[in-house]
Copies of this chain bind each other. A is one copy, B any other.
Amino acid sequence: MGKGQETRERLMDIAEASVLTKGFGATSIDEIIAEAEITKSGFFYHFRDKNQLALALLQRYVDREDELLDDLFARARELHDDPLHAFLIGLKLFAEMMADLPKGHPGCLVATCCYNERLFDSDVRELNKHALLKWRRRFLAELEKIAAIYPPKDDVDLEAVADMVTGIVEGGIVLSRALEAPQELSKQILLFRSYLKLLFMPAYN
């Protein structure tokens, strides 16, 4: 990694931390460059404006989350051949990971974008949308494999169930932060897991 890329990453690290704790609007460029010990010129050399910074942050964020989920559910499939049980194991691993974050999940850039709409241009919103659609496809594929084996016990739209994973996580983060209860997110993920058990597991009564 060249020197430029290094500085760019450092700026993004500082910005991300600030955005996730204070929100995008409350994160000032002056503050970022002070912490990075760089001048304003240096910052604008790397990012045309704050929107470009947001775009870069979001891109990096969704790539990382994607990789994390890939690893996690791949590991779950290693632990169990059955798609339902693998998914349930994956959710358990996910919940445990969220529970282990000592200060709770720092927040989600996807939702941050959502609640700061006009601060971001159409590029950012498009990227955000595509990230959510990717997660929908990811979970839908798993759910279809499950439903093929275990007929669901309620008439549900599997696409909506796939979206529910994202929704539960986003909602759980809001709850955790607003209630100052770090374990809340993990609990919500486990409740979703409970739903899948009741929905798909045959001998569950």
Contact = CB atoms under 8 A, between A and B. Distances in A.
A97 interface: no
Interface in A176-190: 177-180, 184, 187-188, 190
Interface string A105-138: 0010011111111110000010011001100000
Contacts of A125: 178
Q: What is the interface of chain A mostly: helix, strand, loop, or mixed?
A: helix
Copies of this chain in its oligomeric complex: 2
Interface of A: 21-26, 107, 110-119, 125, 128-129, 132-133, 153-154, 156-157, 160-161, 163-164, 166-172, 174-175, 177-180, 184, 187-188, 190-191, 194-195, 197-199, 204-205
A190 B156 CA distance: 9
A180 B118 contact: no
Nearest to A18: B118
Contacts of A199: 194-195, 198
Given A23-B117, A110-B178, 9 more contacts: A114-B174, A114-B178, A129-B180, A166-B171, A168-B168, A171-B174, A194-B195, A195-B198, A205-B205
A119 to B, nearest CB: 5
B198 A26 contact: no
A161 B114 contact: no
Contact of A23 (B115, B160, B172): B115
